[in-house]
Amino acid sequence: MKKLILPAFAIILALGSSAFTAKKAAGVFYRYTSSSLTEANIKNINNYERESATCNPGAKVCGVLLDTDNGEESQPEEAEFTAQRNNLWTSQQNGLPANANIVMKN
């Protein structure tokens, strides 16, 4: 009986702690298409396009993960993009993603 208590406790503990995991990033990738790294261009929704591929890690903004999929080669939903606009610029300035939805590249 004692042999069953410890494994059962471990399983209960593992299941209980999974409720406290961090929120995962949204899953639809919009790539930054401009070569310019100015604030105006990084924050411009017209410079982002839906793609299925992501980027190799690095210190420059590559794109953003959002909830709404508007189809390949389309622009993001304006409200979702606006919520990430400042995070994109902060990421570019710092060379690190400001949150889990920002994707960086070389």
What integer is the mean pLDDT of 67-77? Answer: 94
What does the pLDDT read at residue 15? 40
Residue 93: inside a domain:
yes
pTM reported for the whole predicted model:
0.74
Residue 10: inside a domain:
no
Task: Tell me the three state secondary structure of residue 79.
Answer: helix
What integer is the mean pLDDT of 20-46? Answer: 83
Higher pLDDT: 15 or 100? It is 100
C-alpha pair distances (Å), 66 with each of 9, 63, 72, 97, 99: 38, 10, 13, 14, 12
95: left (phi over 0), alpha (psi -120 to 50) or beta: left
| Count: domains in the chain | 1
Give residue 101's domain range: 25-105
Residue 15: inside a domain:
no
Residue 14: inside a domain:
no
Name the pLDDT band for 54 (thresholds 50, 70, 90): confident
